[in-house]
Chains A and B, each alone.
Chain A
Amino acid sequence: MSGECINNEDLHWFAVRYRLGELSEQERARFEWELGENQAAREALAKAVALEAAVTICFQKTSLPVRNAVSFRWAGFATAVAVAVCFAMLIPFFKFDPQKSRQVGEREATPRLHALAFAWTEAGAEMADASFNADGLSWGIDLHWEVDGADSSADVFSADAANETLSGAAFVEEERAGDYAALEEAAGDAGWMLVALSGMQTLANSETSGSETPGDESP
Chain B
Amino acid sequence: MSAPAHLVFCRQAVDREGDSKQINFARLRMARSTANSLDSDTSARLYVEHADELRRFLIGVLRDAPLAQDCVQAAFAKLLTHGGGVRAESRKAWLFRVAYHEALAVRRRQAVGKRVLEQVGKDGESLASGIQNDAAETLVSRETIDGVRRALAELPQNQRDVVRMRMYENKTFRLIAAELDIPIGTALARMRTALKKLRQRLESE
User: Could you list which residues of chain A lie within 8 angstroms of chain B, going by C-beta atoms?
Assistant: 9, 12-13, 15-16, 18-20, 22, 35-36, 39, 42-43, 45-60, 62-63
Contacts and interface: CB of A to CB of B under 8 A. Distances in A.
Given A54-B144, A55-B167, A49 B131 contact: yes
Secondary structure at the A interface, as helix, strand, loop or mixed, is helix
Secondary structure at the B interface, as helix, strand, loop or mixed, is helix
Given A55-B163, A58-B145, A59-B164, A50 B152 contact: no
B115 interface: no
Contacts of B148: 51, 54-55, 58
A35 B61 contact: yes
B164 A46 contact: no
Nearest to A39: B93
A37 to B, nearest CB: 9
B56 A62 contact: no
A55 B167 CA distance: 7
B167 A12 contact: no
Interface stretch (B6-14, B117-125, B132-140): B132-140
Contact of A15 (B60, B92, B149): B60
A62 B149 contact: yes
A15 B191 CA distance: 13
B198 interface: yes
Nearest to A16: B195
Interface string B161-205: 001101110001100000000000000000110011011001000
A12 B131 contact: no
